[in-house]
Structure 1
Amino acid sequence: MRFKSCFFFLVMMNSGKLFAEDKFCDLPHVENGRIAPYYYSFKGYYFPMRKGKNLSYSCAAGYTTETGTQEGRITCTVKGWSPVPQCYKKCTKPLLEHGIFYGTETYFKIHEKLQYKCNQGYHAPSGGTEDTLQCQSDGWSSQATCTKKVESCQVPELHHGSYFTTQRELQVNEALLYKCDEGYHTAGGNATEAAVCLPHGWSLTPKCSKKTCPSLGAIEHGGFYPVKKIYEEGDVVHFFCEENYSFREFDLIQCYYFGWYPDPPVCEDVRNKCPPPPLPPHARISADRRTYHSGDRVRIQCQSEYEIRGSGEIQCEKGKWTSPPICLEIQQNCTSPPAIKNGVLLGPLLPSYTNGDSVEYGCQRYYILDGPSTIYCEQGNWTEQPTCLDPCILNVTDMNSNNIELKWRQEELIFLHGDLVEFECKQGYKFLHTTETSPGRTRCDRGRLKYPKCVFQVPVEKCDSPPSIANGALTLPPLTQYDNGSSVQYSCSDYYFLQGSERIYCSEGQWTSPPLCIEPCTLSKDEMEKNNVLLESFYENQVYFYHGDYIGFYCKQNHFGAESGATLFQVQCKRGQLLYPRCVERRK
């Protein structure tokens, strides 16, 4: 009995020791980022980690941590990793035409907002003159645009879908109904949707998109689950290998809107050879070759300023390496942080800085910070400090010599790095012949500005009054004479279909071709009675139909189509002509 008590006491002591050294945190998953590849290769050795251990992770290109940095640091706690490692899409100040932003910042952190205002005569997507964007985990909450108020909307080309009308232009507040082909979805994620023409354009531009990934082929020496013919966005596929085979990296992939990521893995034979030996952070190997067999040994050495913990030699055994050592930092302090041109050190100001300390920088007025605003002390050296990019100061002499002036008046002739500057030619001058759509636009680049050039404009011949068209007229009373480049707009009489461009232009004394007004079809009750057909209820009380419209008819009771035998018909209006279907009485 006494022996059993002692045994129980020893087991409890041993259990208490294990509990005190309990491990809490598994290998973290960092979407759009990762930790050092070394930790993935030796997951079983490092994880789970004990409380108080730190781990660094880095975000992929175009992503940052929530604080706006490229790298983050997390700590293992009893509740898991803190903070949870996350990488967000970095928000960069977008381009904006016909409007201005409030504020001069270039980069934005998650949840930060950016407000802008549109120029007179232009509207934001909300319909007002101002709107606000917010930096979210996948980019800006919406697109910053300023569009000119319109009176009608052109029907866009639609792939993988069809419209319920043949009209090519709709007026403001009119709805455009469309549907997508099987396997595709509308801009709002539905099979059928209606887009409304608003003063600033379509409420949601018609578009049909696919949200599936291709099927996966067979995996040599392995397999995967689940197996589907079609995978939808968000689906995750897990892979597994046969005995004596293993993956080099990830064992799962996911279906995104752009396809599979990452690529499907490959099962490699690990029976008689090992992969290249793992290289712990801040370490190097004594020799390196492509192939290693069971029994091969490799010595690992730490870099300077790091000390080794564990055996410095690893061995290949049955396709796997024995546990490698760890290289721990030899703590070193940093001197005062470096100064930057046209910038200031915001602090904190200390006599000396220990490993892991940080300081923050800012730029003088009109200068833009390029690089991380915060730098860190790492083993006696500061991480790379940022720079302050110069603004552009307009030179009035250069503007006069190029015969240009600012398109939008402002008090100060100073633009920040990255700002878009828009010029226009002085009266009597024009831009040099160029293929650019907006030759007057240029961008401030680190204090340098490339000025566009305007030359004297030779007067061109004017146009007389525009031609008249049948069944249509100009939207405004005609003038006796028009300048080169001027335009006029036509409209057709009620129910007449406008074919061609509604707007023509004066080009060197000649007008471009005017449109045609195609007559509508007029419903004839005599023809309907003569052919024993009735009008579908959808078209009830409608007498006139546009060229190209379809009209639905059906046979009277106890009648059927004389040619086809059908009872329902769709007839198209073609240039004022309507070919009525003919129904005959069913014989008893």
Structure 2
Amino acid sequence: MAPTLVWLLLCQLTLYTTVTSKKVCSRPPLTDGIDESTLKRVYEVGEEVTLTCGQGYLASTAASQRIACTGTGEWTQSNLACSREGRTEAPFKTVYVMQGANESRCLHDGTWSNPPPLCKAVNCPLPKPPGDGRIVHNKPVTGTTTMYGQSWTYECNPPKAPSYEKGACMADGRATEPPVCRDVSCSIPSGIPNGFITFAVMRQHRYKETVKYGCNDHYVLDGDAEIHCQNTGNWSSKPVCRAPCKVGIKRGRIFYNASKLWIGDLKPNRILHGEHVAFYCLNKADRCGYPVATTCNDGILPIPECFQEPGKVEYNLRPKTLPSEITMCAASPPASPTNST
């Protein structure tokens, strides 16, 4: 019994090994340009795959290239190669230059006067850095050329500044010539109306040094708070401090800062630049009120033409009849010369 039992165990082990060691093929090895979109991760023995070139690539052969997964877990050989030659779509911003005659005439002997011209993509040689600086490319560059439209920035060793900062590959196939690195300084920074300079030493500043501005209380900074010394020796644009506004009515109600206020309760009477205020107007036809918004702009707050400031008696004795207190209209009336919104 013992030899028979051992023989059965060996048969089962052999069967188990045969089943579990079945070979499969992983995704086939691919060369550049072959379309991978329809490929699976794993294939069983005997499965076949048809290889094709992706969009923009030309196949080296017209015959379909089928490969099969073999029992060794490897793929059969393929001689398909995909080339960028014959690509029909041009990279973004690519410019082509025509080499050869731009016209050809049919001659009496049945031939053409000129062969077809060639259209060649414009490339530029790699740009030269300034003598005392370097180039920072906006995109990674490989090889010895750049494409039309690619750009870069010139930098000089501090404290020098480039005579110009930007360069690019141009349509005529030339790269921008390198700038000259030179000493540049900007004048002592000056103040701004209703504002001040923060954290700055009052001296001449070198290229790329900065100065920061702030505004007095209740003034709003319009523009970049920080300016810098440019390669031209001038400062970049200074910001402006925009003035607050006063609501120029004595009687009435406004809607400001998410609240409905009597003008006497607006203390202090001040609206910051860029803030909105709504005045209440009367729709005489429907006897209802509606709000009209206006905006403070550097000390000036326009009052809507449709707003009518109530008299003292009406304001003090009959405030509930004012447009701000009666039923609000379902919709504001259309604008007109006598009823501006």
Bigger RCO of structures 1 and 2 (CA < 8 A, at least 6 apart): 2
Task: Work out which of the two has the higher radius of gyration on C-alpha atoms and give 1 or 2.
Answer: 2
Common topology (TM > 0.5): no
Structure having the larger proportion of residues in strand? 1
**TM-score, normalised by the number of residues in structure 1:** 0.25
**TM-score, normalised by the number of residues in structure 2:** 0.40
